[in-house]
Structure 1
């Protein structure tokens, strides 16, 4: 299969703007045509026609990031050969910034802009074109006129050869699936488009029509997915009291290895491993991803930190509240799957324990506060390096645990009458529906206090803005549970390194802060050869017969040069927690447990 065709985006634009030498109001119509004459080389050719101009200068811009993925991705690097003309005559274009092209429109009422764009980055957040399909991540594809973000658009798609389907959340025009409408650029940039021969199935849930577009092959069972995905939708809708969509689209990209997702206002793009649906672990993992990204249609796309909208598409949009936007969503994804009864209580507690172990085994948890993790997403979370484990903490994992703790706190304090569900519903109604704006950090805290019935200053000081050790047993104890560390009575030696196999060789991928390797100077990228002269053959058994306090000599290659590094072995500080029930559960604990786990 190959890609070819045209994509016509018509933006009917009524606007008032200050011209270089006038204050005249102007009405403009903007048309995009996208063709794929060299799809095999991963290019799209875009023609942008603008008529009804009444200003002397026009600035065309391309977003530098896409909402939901907090990293400046410099989409404009993919644009080449940009030119402008009117009535076939060239018009001057000057690039004034990395993502801005300035056009002299003095005396002109219309202009046609043409550019080529390269699209060959496989991910849920970036455009990809090849000879089989086209995925258009719209924020990285379409230039927009500065000052015209709030104008409507119509998109017509002409499929290439045997292409027969378009999947997007954009509304159809005149019941034509290849013609779509968007009321403004924010929605256009929040509505990815899949064009090709994807396998589409639908289901209805909560009065909303859902489309699932399966891209590439997979061993999925459509009937089972319809049933379970509909159940997830209904459970999440029940939390908020309504589903604000008329229809919703899942675009699922199936690859040999796949994962991750990105939320949109009325759609989501998911990455999946095409053959993982056949195992219960793989299937449940996919449903947790479905639950996560679908939950975002409320939490973050509508109920949002105030910094995340209206968007600044030119720069970073900073917030300290991604631990709510993403962390709470990460809490609910597995909770929702548990509420479907696909996770047993034992399985669900195992998932929570895994999050605890992830946080507690990351030295960065003692370095970076949760609120700072949110703020630094732009420079750290999306740009991990070999030392990230020592300097950062994930607002997903720790944020999920904070949500669990607050949920249990509210349930306990209200004797089972209310839960975190009630906070989320209240915030959605109060800020998205009533105030029609995002919330501040202080406002979300006030809502938590309203339902918990207590001041949370100390909680925030310790766990959100500080680095205090989390007292898991205090919060789990409300429901009659506790954590036990299976490694508590061990005294195993360790170098304190993470290793990877590269071309049959064992290399150091990370050195844990405070470990023997950290103290005595083993480096990332060192190739380990032997310990005390014994060749290393098993990365999982580096120190047979060794004890804490032993001095060993590590033979390694550093940049191809042989070295011997003396190391004094230290105790392995890693933990392995399990969540178990306490003995003699009280009636109050049972009330909390049943409310929490929906027993």
Structure 2
């Protein structure tokens, strides 16, 4: 009797579980050589008389519109009884049907040939799938469960790697649309390595036909170092769903370099094999994307939750979500010994100059730079912009702000690591969305009101530049400011290739992108002659006539020789008197391993 009751209970629970799955997909790849996938989507439990099914217009981790519907065709619809239904188009990215019986099956062909973190790629090497670029959905079913079956190419020895929960055979499950769309899939003849961290499994999936087993092992050791080093910032890993995290590394010549974070996995494609420089060149993406499993996936801006697949998603917190992550990616590489301290500082130099010499700070603060993401995050437009003068990447700007906050806290015998842990415990572990004001108040509780108000008031709500000479000296890094003669625009084969930098010699003289420089003073300019080398033969403040060609006509402008500011950073000589014991300890606390 007990056995009968148990079996009946199991049967009923299974029935209820299955009844909750309202979106079922089957995807196959018979025409992979033509970059096509065939998809069948069955939507049940439909309550509306008119049902709308659509393709996404945006994708988690991206902030611009991408209009995935452009690669969908051969759309056909039937109801639950097999009756053909006519689909109409209310807009470019959705379809409508009426007269159904509570269930519809939509079949369509997807063209997919861009193997990065946002789009999809299907060919005979793999099926590299980003869910929003692949699967249609019905909005009224967003909160209900989803099942997808992959008909893999057995003749190509394909296997499936994804954070979706494995059901049976080639069928996988997601609890709702948000999780489903946040789950990338790599289907290929890949290899795996894994290791356990306190009961959770970290898995490296590698699709790289050119890499040897030894190279894979070497790379995996680097991945392990990154994972363990970053874990020390927060003191723990997140509780991954199903106790697993996957790096989906597709290092194939047909892939496109990218990195895209997801809740329990990351898609990290690159055209660079481990055998062709990827052992060194690809690990930075691993470091950036893994840090996101805390910062952005769980320490998540309130403005991005829930993610809206029907429009661009704007957030003013990207300087923190993306920028502080960018600060920690290279920092974790130097701490783990993968990157030398000298190379780390040289990497800072490039970002430092980009951010702090940009005229963009006079137009937007870091919050407003974050608002620009829908226009710059892989967004495409045909009209020209002036981004070189008005925009600073929130990745780079935010990484410099992370450096600022870290070094400023170290002056107070605090660290950014411990602040990040506070934010993690408050907003990450609880998965409660945060705002800029929440970050401000968290810093108040961590470092005091005066400190927090100064940091946010000067560098977040405004665009001030910190006193880096003092901050860097405290950790054994010297800052040198240089004033060099500079034209203020890129010139290639005599032609100006970008909008001149605001405030530069070229800008003040009235030069434009597309101008062809013919003569500076008495010197005729030909071919690949460097304009700056010519200007360096003159004196600062000297005015010189410049002949140019614009729109097919010749004209002359008066150029006043000016300078541009640049910065250099160097580690202090460890044998010098200025490198004191206190500075050495501060530098070690900043750059040394925490494992």
Query: TM-score, normalization: structure 1?
Result: 0.86
For residue 51 of structure 1, report the CA deviation from its aligned partner: 3.6
For residue 558 of structure 1, report the CA deviation from its aligned partner: 3.9
Q: Which aligned pairs between 1:1-400 and structure 2 lie closer than 5 A?
A: 29-86=22-79, 87-105=81-99, 108-160=101-153, 161-174=155-168, 176=169, 178-219=170-211, 221-240=215-234, 241-245=236-240, 246-255=243-252, 259-274=257-272, 283-380=279-376, 382-383=378-379, 387-400=386-399
| Aligned partner of residue 497 in structure 1, secondary structure | coil
The structure 2 residue matched to 1:422, chosen from 418, 421, 426, is: 418
Q: Distance in 1 between matches of 2:237 and 2:203?
A: 19
Q: Distance in 2 between matches of 1:558 and 1:78?
A: 40
For residue 497 of structure 1, report the CA deviation from its aligned partner: 0.8
For residue 373 of structure 1, report the CA deviation from its aligned partner: 0.5
Q: Distance in 2 between matches of 1:589 and 1:365?
A: 31
Q: Distance in 1 between matches of 2:334 and 2:550?
A: 48
| Aligned partner of residue 499 in structure 2, secondary structure | strand
Q: Which moved more, 1:302-311 or 1:458-467?
A: 458-467
Q: Distance in 2 between matches of 1:427 and 1:336?
A: 19
Contact 1:124-1:261 at 8 Å conserved across structures: yes
* Structure 1 unaligned spans of 5+: 1-11, 16-25
Q: Distance in 2 between matches of 1:83 and 1:444?
A: 49
Q: Distance in 1 between matches of 2:180 and 2:263?
A: 10
Closer, same or farther in 2 for the Cα pair 1:212/1:516, shift >3 Å? same
Contact 1:13-1:152 at 8 Å conserved across structures: no
Contact 2:250-2:269 at 8 Å conserved across structures: yes
Alignment-derived partner of residue 445 in structure 2: 450
For residue 588 of structure 1, report the CA deviation from its aligned partner: 5.0
Closer, same or farther in 2 for the Cα pair 1:82/1:258, shift >3 Å? closer
Task: Looking at secondary structure, tell me which structure has more helix per residue.
Answer: 2
For residue 454 of structure 1, report the CA deviation from its aligned partner: 4.0
Contact 1:219-1:274 at 8 Å conserved across structures: no
For residue 438 of structure 1, report the CA deviation from its aligned partner: 0.9
Alignment-derived partner of residue 584 in structure 1: 578
Q: Distance in 2 between matches of 1:124 and 1:539?
A: 40
Q: Distance in 1 between matches of 2:499 and 2:274?
A: 29
Q: Does 1:534 align with 2:524?
A: yes
| Aligned partner of residue 349 in structure 1, secondary structure | helix
For residue 405 of structure 1, report the CA deviation from its aligned partner: 1.6
| Aligned partner of residue 323 in structure 1, secondary structure | helix
Q: Does 1:522 align with 2:522?
A: no
Closer, same or farther in 2 for the Cα pair 1:525/1:452, shift >3 Å? same
Closer, same or farther in 2 for the Cα pair 1:49/1:272, shift >3 Å? closer
Closer, same or farther in 2 for the Cα pair 1:275/1:164, shift >3 Å? closer
Q: Distance in 2 between matches of 1:432 and 1:473?
A: 34
Q: Does 1:594 align with 2:591?
A: no
Contact 2:206-2:248 at 8 Å conserved across structures: yes
Q: Which moved more, 1:255-264 or 1:186-195?
A: 255-264
Contact 1:386-1:509 at 8 Å conserved across structures: no
| Aligned partner of residue 114 in structure 2, secondary structure | coil
Contact 1:206-1:243 at 8 Å conserved across structures: no
| Aligned partner of residue 101 in structure 1, secondary structure | strand
For residue 470 of structure 1, report the CA deviation from its aligned partner: 2.6
Q: Distance in 1 between matches of 2:501 and 2:15?
A: 56
Structure with more contact order per residue of length (Cα contacts < 8 Å, sep ≥ 6) = 2
Contact 2:252-2:271 at 8 Å conserved across structures: yes
| Aligned partner of residue 38 in structure 2, secondary structure | strand
Closer, same or farther in 2 for the Cα pair 1:578/1:52, shift >3 Å? closer
| Aligned partner of residue 576 in structure 1, secondary structure | strand
For residue 190 of structure 1, report the CA deviation from its aligned partner: 0.9
Q: Distance in 2 between matches of 1:354 and 1:276?
A: 25
* Structure 2 unaligned spans of 5+: 1-13
Describe the superposition over 1:292-333 as per-residue Cα deviations: whole angstroms up to 9, x where unpaired: 001101100011111111112212322211011011100100
For residue 166 of structure 1, report the CA deviation from its aligned partner: 1.6
Q: Distance in 2 between matches of 1:509 and 1:364?
A: 15
Q: Distance in 2 between matches of 1:450 and 1:422?
A: 12
Describe the superposition over 1:114-161 as per-residue Cα deviations: whole angstroms up to 9, x where unpaired: 222222234221111234322111012111111222222222212123
Closer, same or farther in 2 for the Cα pair 1:295/1:130, shift >3 Å? same
Contact 2:28-2:152 at 8 Å conserved across structures: no
The structure 2 residue matched to 1:467, chosen from 459, 463, 467, is: 463
Please give the root-mean-square deviation of Cα atoms over the aligned residues, in Å.
2.9
Aligned residue pairs, count: 561
Contact 2:22-2:141 at 8 Å conserved across structures: no
For residue 483 of structure 1, report the CA deviation from its aligned partner: 0.9
| Aligned partner of residue 249 in structure 1, secondary structure | strand
Contact 2:366-2:460 at 8 Å conserved across structures: yes
Q: Distance in 1 between matches of 2:15 and 2:186?
A: 26
Contact 2:28-2:37 at 8 Å conserved across structures: yes
Contact 1:496-1:515 at 8 Å conserved across structures: yes
Contact 1:206-1:234 at 8 Å conserved across structures: no
Task: Looking at secondary structure, tell me which structure has more strand per residue.
Answer: 1
For residue 251 of structure 1, report the CA deviation from its aligned partner: 2.1
